[in-house]
Chain A
Amino acid sequence: MTSTFVGMPKFPVAAREALANTQLRSNLAHATATIRDKRARVVAEVDNWEELRLSGAAIKDAALASLDQHLVRLEARLTAAGAEVRWARDADEACTIVAEVAQRHGIDEVVKVKSMVTQEIGLNEALQEQGISAWETDLAELIVQLGDDLPSHILVPAIHRNRAEILEIFQRRMQGLASPEELTDDPAVLAGAAREHLRQKFLTARMAVSGANFAVAETGTLVVVESEGNGRMCLTLPEVLVSVVGIEKVVPTWEDLDVFLRLLPRSSTGERMNPYTSTWTGVTPGDGPQEVVVVLLDNGRTRALADQVGRQALRCIRCSACLNSCPVYERVGGHAYGSVYPGPIGAILNPLLKGVGVDEQVDSLPYASSLCGACFEVCPVRIDIPSVLVDLRAQVVDAHRAKRWGGVPSMQTVAMKGAAATFRSGRRLRLAERFARLGTGIAARVGARAWTGSRDLPRAPRESFRAWWRRTDGGTR
């Protein structure tokens, strides 16, 4: 399988490639515009939307501020309800736990409910190495999986594929189809084929793996929100259910959950309510999975929590509204971000989880934004993504400052230090303008070719405003 994000090029390089793909660009433009408009319509229906956003942010902030207590409570309630709770520091630990559970039951095939976190830890690949096949059951994830592809959107992972491509993937890779040659690219026919394929999996797989959108501490209840019903099948049919849950998913009470169940569907799919909301509390004797394992995962979350500005990213409920509203995402798509978390949230979450100053690709992400602020405007939990981006940029620069101590500074550093020296006083700036024709100077310094490839530069004026003011005494002479 080629589905791994390891070793991706820096954002600008990956973006250039994506921009050259005109099919991708038109798919993306169409899909994001549709969801964006739908979201705007249903959000406008809610009178107290701003209040809901404020409560959502406040609830998550409070939960994060005493995360230790809520997690201990969640563990106690889950255990009391018959679930086994395991703690995983990182991806490896989490994958090992899931594989162990499968192995102790002699299981070599599991069905999966779409979940970001299992992609984050590379679970499918890790299970594959242990001889366990993991089947995605969400339609779009299935397309991605069968195509040996990478997801490009949180909610619509196959947003970069069109019908013809999907038909081709199904014909080539889908197992158990009665008559693959009769497939057409009619969406109903394609969905029917997927249903046929998935039903077999649901009925035969003895174990399911899920994530969770929320974990309610007061009762030890996990919540999965979905649209296709495949999640409900996975959560109820198999004997064994393992759920991998990021530690930031905890909400203290059901009353808190209520706020998010109102914020999430409108923000994500532009629906008033999502079709399926499944909740389960440990094991229900005689009904559903009789072995329930919950893996509580850190994998960088405590690092993010320690970041004063960045910790707000842990409020994220993965609605993907920020992706759909982002002019950069709309043009380059998800793959350029090199992670299962693309778009504006990916540009902050990846550096926060992984840390900066180590990997060039990660360090390029905070710069993958024009800081237009469209993401902040739509985020249901009010994550101030532009401010976090700016703060992370400073962290990237500081990390490199520390490393390059005594070494050769980068071109960018030279330019910034030069500008800072020029901007130290009005007198210096006046001299710089006079002697260096700052106008063209700036352009040359910031890299004229990147600008002039498709844009003309303004003509430099005869005299600066400052010089004019001096010469004419503020236009009075």
Chain B
Amino acid sequence: MRVALMVTCINDALFPDVGKACVTLLRRLGVEVDFPDAQTCCGQPMVNTGYLDEAIAPLRSFVKAFEGYDAIVTPSGSCAGSARHQHGMVARRSGDPELVAAVERTAPRTYELSEFLVDVLGVTDVGACFPHRVTYHPTCHSLRMLGVGDRPTTLLRAVRGLDLVELPRAEECCGFGGTFAVKNSDTSVAMVSDKARHVRETGAEVLVAGDSSCLMNIGGALSRQQAGIRVMHLAEVLAQTATGGGQS
């Protein structure tokens, strides 16, 4: 099976450790993972702001990078959702039948990390060890657009030493929403403040989620409030072993 890592633009530029954790984790599970250098961004920031024409160029680079792989794995529910549910629309907008056809091949092969681990590899215990009190925020697009269900928490529960505590009102949006965080920043801040409060209520040391953008939002609020709670991507937790070695 040829597997490609779609690292996402935000992890590439701001959170490279998340990408490295994916590589470590997948290799440990026996998956030889490629990083096709042509990849850039899935185009979601443009699509969700209404700039469909501007999403065509990123989509072309996406297709160029990932065509021919059996599986495209990404540490983001949101970007997987964009590939599966929005790329078709952008391709049709381009009026290019080849792009439409290419998307029909890449879209169904795109998996969010926990989906790939549980559904494709059939693993729920990835052999990780992380002796900390953790709470999990199920990001909206993982939860509702992809329907990843309990896959992430099943993976977390199998981690040695990990104490998973429930997050109050877990399913409520953190207020990120891409450009929403800027265009409607007051509302966004009201939402993330409540989310950060709920995280603090759990007494967890670490907040885990499957999307770096949401973690950047909640983490930014927690850090401003000097809450002393770290945020980590699911991939980073799953990459940890008894001997440490979060990164390659």
* A contact set with B: CB distance below 8 Å: 11-12, 15-16, 19, 25, 327-328, 331-332, 366-374, 376-377, 386, 390, 392-398, 412-413, 416-417, 419-430, 433, 438-439, 442, 446-447, 450-451, 453-458, 460-461, 463-466, 468-470, 472, 474-475
The answer to whether B152 has its CB under 8 Å from any CB of chain A is no
- The proximity string for B residues 159-203 relative to A, scoring 1 for CB distances below 8 Å and 0 otherwise, is 000000000000111011111111111111111110000000000
A residues less than 8 Å from B38 (CB atoms): 425-426
Task: Report the Cα distance A123→B173, complex, angstroms.
Answer: 37
Q: Is there an interface contact between A331 and B220, defined as CB atoms closer than 8 Å?
A: no
Task: Report the Cα distance A199→B74, complex, angstroms.
Answer: 64
Closest chain A residue to B17, Cβ basis: A461
Interface residue from B47, B54, B173, B216 paired with A372 (Cβ < 8 Å): B173
B residues less than 8 Å from A454 (CB atoms): 189, 192-193, 221, 224
Q: Is there an interface contact between A424 and B57, defined as CB atoms closer than 8 Å?
A: yes
Chain B interface size range:
35 or more
B residues less than 8 Å from A19 (CB atoms): 186-187, 190
The answer to whether B118 has its CB under 8 Å from any CB of chain A is no
Interface residue from B13, B48, B182, B247 paired with A446 (Cβ < 8 Å): B182
A residues less than 8 Å from B9 (CB atoms): 423, 429
A residues less than 8 Å from B19 (CB atoms): 465, 468-469
Q: Is there an interface contact between A397 and B191, defined as CB atoms closer than 8 Å?
A: no
- The proximity string for B residues 106-142 relative to A, scoring 1 for CB distances below 8 Å and 0 otherwise, is 0000000000000000000000000000000000110
A residues less than 8 Å from B35 (CB atoms): 465-466, 469, 474
A16 to chain B, nearest CB (A): 5
B145 to chain A, nearest CB (A): 6
B residues less than 8 Å from A331 (CB atoms): 187, 190-191
Closest chain A residue to B78, Cβ basis: A371
The answer to whether B12 has its CB under 8 Å from any CB of chain A is yes
Q: Is there an interface contact between A458 and B50, defined as CB atoms closer than 8 Å?
A: no
Interface of B is mostly: helix
Closest chain A residue to B90, Cβ basis: A394
Q: Is there an interface contact between B184 and A461, defined as CB atoms closer than 8 Å?
A: no
Q: Is there an interface contact between B184 and A12, defined as CB atoms closer than 8 Å?
A: yes
A461 to chain B, nearest CB (A): 5
Closest chain B residue to A327, Cβ basis: B173
Q: Is there an interface contact between B185 and A453, defined as CB atoms closer than 8 Å?
A: yes
Q: Is there an interface contact between A370 and B177, defined as CB atoms closer than 8 Å?
A: yes
- A421, A454, A474: most-surrounded residue (chain B CB, <10 A): A454
Q: Is there an interface contact between A394 and B52, defined as CB atoms closer than 8 Å?
A: yes
B residues less than 8 Å from A457 (CB atoms): 220
Q: Is there an interface contact between B173 and A393, defined as CB atoms closer than 8 Å?
A: no
Interface residue from B13, B24, B140 paired with A439 (Cβ < 8 Å): B13
Closest 10 CB pairs of A and B: A370-B177, A393-B50, A455-B220, A475-B248, A372-B173, A397-B50, A450-B185, A420-B54, A373-B144, A465-B16
Closest chain A residue to B181, Cβ basis: A451
- B55, B171, B180, B190: most-surrounded residue (chain A CB, <10 A): B190
Task: Report the Cα distance A450→B141, complex, angstroms.
Answer: 23
- 16 pairs across A/B with beta carbons < 8 Å? A328-B191, A331-B191, A368-B187, A370-B180, A373-B143, A373-B145, A374-B173, A397-B50, A423-B40, A424-B40, A425-B61, A426-B38, A450-B181, A454-B193, A470-B37, A475-B248
Q: Is there an interface contact between A416 and B187, defined as CB atoms closer than 8 Å?
A: no
- B19, B183, B247: most-surrounded residue (chain A CB, <10 A): B183
Q: Is there an interface contact between B14 and A461, defined as CB atoms closer than 8 Å?
A: yes
Residues 191-219 (chain B) with a chain A CB within 8 angstroms: 191-193, 216-217, 219
B residues less than 8 Å from A427 (CB atoms): 37
Task: Report the Cα distance A331→B180, complex, angstroms.
Answer: 15
Interface residue from B24, B36, B183 paired with A12 (Cβ < 8 Å): B183
- B54, B55, B60, B221: most-surrounded residue (chain A CB, <10 A): B54
Task: Report the Cα distance A386→B78, complex, angstroms.
Answer: 13
Q: Is there an interface contact between A455 and B217, defined as CB atoms closer than 8 Å?
A: yes
Task: Report the Cα distance A247→B97, complex, angstroms.
Answer: 38
Interface residue from A374, A412, A455, A460 paired with B144 (Cβ < 8 Å): A374
- A372, A461, A469: most-surrounded residue (chain B CB, <10 A): A372
Task: Report the Cα distance A461→B57, complex, angstroms.
Answer: 26
Interface residue from A373, A394, A433 paired with B140 (Cβ < 8 Å): A373
| A16 in contact with B50 given A442-B13, A454-B221 (CB within 8 Å) | no
Task: Report the Cα distance A424→B11, complex, angstroms.
Answer: 18
Closest chain B residue to A390, Cβ basis: B48
Closest chain B residue to A13, Cβ basis: B186
Task: Report the Cα distance A456→B172, complex, angstroms.
Answer: 21
A residues less than 8 Å from B86 (CB atoms): 390
Task: Report the Cα distance A284→B13, complex, angstroms.
Answer: 72
A342 to chain B, nearest CB (A): 14
Q: Is there an interface contact between A423 and B191, defined as CB atoms closer than 8 Å?
A: no
B60 to chain A, nearest CB (A): 8
Closest chain A residue to B13, Cβ basis: A438
| A328 in contact with B20 given A394-B52, A457-B220 (CB within 8 Å) | no
Q: Is there an interface contact between B7 and A465, defined as CB atoms closer than 8 Å?
A: yes
Task: Report the Cα distance A332→B181, complex, angstroms.
Answer: 15
A348 to chain B, nearest CB (A): 14
Extra inter-chain contacts (17) besides given A12-B185, A374-B172, A424-B40, CB under 8 Å: A15-B184, A19-B190, A370-B180, A373-B140, A373-B145, A386-B145, A390-B50, A393-B49, A419-B54, A420-B57, A423-B43, A423-B58, A429-B40, A433-B13, A454-B193, A455-B221, A460-B14
